[in-house]
Amino acid sequence: MKLIDGKKTAQDIRAEIKAEVASRTAQGVRAPGLAVILVGEDPASQVYVRNKERACQDAGIRSVPHRLPASTSQEELMALIARLNADESVDGILLQLPLPKGLDADRCLLAIDPSKDVDGFHPESVGRLVQGLPGFVSCTPAGIIELLSRYDLPTEGKKAVVIGRSNIVGKPLAVLLARPGRFGNATVTLCHSRTADLAKECREADFVFAAIGRPRFVTADMVKPGAVVVDVGINRTEQGLCGDVDFEAVKDKCSAITPVPGGVGPMTIAMLLKNTLQSWRQRLGLC
């Protein structure tokens, strides 16, 4: 069994980004800029934002934090997004979700300039992904494909099952797995709560991607010998953090597996930085 170490891979990616930024800024090019908007006092969101800001600092990316009170109005938030859209020193805009009650997250996400949509959530970004055009890919699915590539686990010609149909992970991941390429070209089944025989679908898969948000949902009897299992879930239980896969039961049955924590999670921030780097290159003509 091969352990897919997302923490180590994310560190490698962040080091690569840091080296490129350092080389460019040494030549007089401005550093990339990522604006992060946090509204309210949600404890989990505060932790996520601090981690993103720290990752930016480590990689040489200028973090531009905007911490707003929960009382912020929709109009004030929209005005801030408009200012950041117009700011030439800002390459990416990240709106930390969830927003406090009374604020329309969809309206805010639609207002972000697609050329600065480093989260990959804007309909234009999603549309470009579906049509196979260049653009920003949602960070978690992009991180999963990056892991497959760096661990040389090609999906071409294989059967892949994605459990979970969220707009952030399941749907874009299914599109990525089906697009042309060595780490695409899979026959993809997108499973969810209404799938008739989910265990059967999983047992027939060469790759299982679990993103359903249910602790240890994928058990050993759902995995065929030699399959690759990617656990996207992170659940807080009385026994601590765990994924959507029963890791201890499944690990000896599969050929490769991601742990939780330390698997897909660290890749999400790494790909956010990579998307910011991509935007920076495009905006300054560094491609």
Question: What is the set of active-site residues?
Answer: 52, 96, 119
DSSP letter assigned to residue 120:
-
Phi, psi of 224 (to 5 degrees): -80, 150
SS3 for 65? strand
CA angle 152–184–171, rounded 5-degree value: 120
8 contacts: CB under 8 Å, gap ≥ 6: none
Q: How many residues does the chain have?
A: 287
Give the C-alpha separation, 170 to 232, whole Å. Answer: 10
Can you name the residues that pair with 160 across neighbouring β-strands? 188, 207
Measuring CA to CA, which residue among 145, 210, 147 is closest to residue 183? 145
